[in-house]
Amino acid sequence: MERIYAFLPSIVTLACIAVTTRLYLWWVVKRFGKNFKSVNWHKKNELRVVSMFGTPLVYVFAPALEELIFRAPIIVAFSTVSSVAWYGIFVSSGLFALAHWRGKKVWMSEILSGNHKSDDVAEEMNRFHAEAGKMIMARKAFQVTVTLFLGILAGYYGIKYQSIWVAFGIHVAWNIVAPTAFIVLVYLGLFVSLVISTLWNKVRWKWGRSW
């Protein structure tokens, strides 16, 4: 019980942040009204939606709620990173990763940049999800993998420093850096593939001439 009382201020504060942000997001949706369901409206107000809705959702609400659910219990339960604590970290991270399997995994940018058949956001997301079956499955597998690593990282350092805020900070930093890092890795992969393909074609051409 002593450990619960010791972490209670951090848990309550983080819970207040999560609840307050959730109420704010609800207010934003209510304020935009029916416009929030319109693809054309989103196109005209993309920056506004990202700043008022997307940013607090991804960088405040989601990390706060998920750290309360998945990291806070193991940080409270384990005072050091012991062999038993590692079991807790892996179980927590596995559940955290599996939770990210759900969802359509369709980005709003794809809806806005494509040729939409209706003005309804939900309808367009369902259509894109149905048409991009293999890509959606690949995204889900990728997200489960990277969130598993994030869970292990946040769990380890949260227990090591005995701080829910360290885990929360790692989660926020990850959400900020990960999308950019992913884009860089994709382009780097394409560049490396192009270089290897070019070199291989030259070697094959020279090899063929030598014969």
pLDDT of residue 130: 81
Report if residue 195 sits inside a domain. no
Report if residue 201 sits inside a domain. no
Report if residue 125 sits inside a domain. yes
The domain of 143 spans: 2-186
Report if residue 58 sits inside a domain. yes
Higher-confidence residue: 140 or 183? Answer: 140
Report if residue 202 sits inside a domain. no
Number of compact structural domains in the chain? 1
In tens, the pLDDT along 4-57 reads 889 999 999 999 999 999 999 999 999 999 999 998 999 899 899 999 999 999
- pTM for the whole structure: 0.82
Report if residue 141 sits inside a domain. yes
Report if residue 101 sits inside a domain. yes
- The answer to whether residue 68 scores a pLDDT higher than 90 is yes
pLDDT of residue 99: 93
Report if residue 208 sits inside a domain. no
pLDDT category of residue 128 using cuts at 50, 70 and 90? confident
- For the chain, give the secondary structure using H, E and C: CHHHHHHHHHHHHHHHHHHHHHHHHHHHHHHHHHHHHEHHHHHHCHHHHHHHHHHHHHHHHHHHHHHHHHHHHHHHHCCCCCHHHHHHHHHHHHHHHHHCCCCCCCCHHHHHHCCCCCCEHHHHHHHHHHHCHHHHHHHHHHHHHHHHHHHHHHHHHHHHCCCHHHHHHHHHHHHHHHHHHHHHHHHHHHHHHHHHHHHHHHHHHHHHHHC
In tens, the pLDDT along 91-112 reads 999 999 999 998 877 788 778 8
